[in-house]
Amino acid sequence: MQVSDIMTQRVLTVSPGATVAQAIALMQYQKVRSLIVEPDAPQGSYGILTERDVVYQVMAKGYPPEQVRVSEIMRQPCIVIAADLTVEAAAQRFAETGLQRAPVVEASDCGQRRLVGVLSVTDIVMKFNLGQDWQDPLSHPLQAALRQARVVCTPAAQITQECEIAWEVVEQLSADVISNTVASTGDESSF
């Protein structure tokens, strides 16, 4: 399995010249925990700005976020991961560097690197098929029902009868999964 199979394709970027206040607003609006910082030159390095950087380097020190530039607190250069790298090799790079996320790039025809996604340790744990052997038989129908409910019940859409039915299916399947797990393990404390 390659990085391109599990990476998050939606990449949010910020200019190194933006203020931290602008970056915070973007993070809050998009509900993300990090932003990729664009290179300041064509052959420059990508950077990364995380919520931890903002809290530790700006807020904890009492600096006004509207007066601090992203370039002053971002991590740069950060590692980049090739889209065709194996997931195991990417996990090894994270382990070696202690980082938790990195931009994913692929080479274009003219030799330039093109940003195509972001990979995080969460992507590796949540999307890599490590635990498929032990899943409850109801897990797959529950996941399908969740996907359907999310499609039918978009944030912009009003709640419709179809949306209500979709969420009822999700709730029923969730209850079935919990009762089957409790029945087989006798342990309700994990819920």
Cβ 69 vs Cβ 19: under 8 Å: yes
Q: Which of 47, 105, 101, 50 is nearest to 81 (CA)?
A: 105
Q: Distance between CA atoms of 140 and 146, rounded to whole angstroms? A: 10
How many Å separate Cα 110 from the centre of its chain? Answer: 29
One digit per residue, pLDDT tens: the chain, 191 residues? 899 999 999 899 999 999 999 999 999 999 988 999 999 887 788 999 999 999 999 999 999 999 999 999 998 778 899 999 999 999 999 999 888 889 999 987 776 788 999 999 988 988 876 555 555 555 666 666 666 666 656 555 545 566 666 666 666 766 665 666 556 555 554 44
Q: What is the per-residue pLDDT for 55?
A: 96
The burial of 98, by beta-carbon neighbours within 10 Å (0-12 exposed, 13-18 middle, 19 or more buried), is given as exposed
How far is the first Cα of the chain from the last one, in angstroms, to the nearest whole number?
32
pTM for the model stands at: 0.63
Q: Distance between CA atoms of 108 and 106, rounded to whole angstroms? A: 6
Q: What is the per-residue pLDDT for 43?
A: 77
Q: Distance between CA atoms of 103 and 47, rounded to whole angstroms? A: 9
Q: What is the per-residue pLDDT for 54?
A: 96
Q: What is the per-residue pLDDT for 89?
A: 94
What are the CB-based long-range contacts (under 8 Å, 24+) for 27-32? 27/51, 27/54
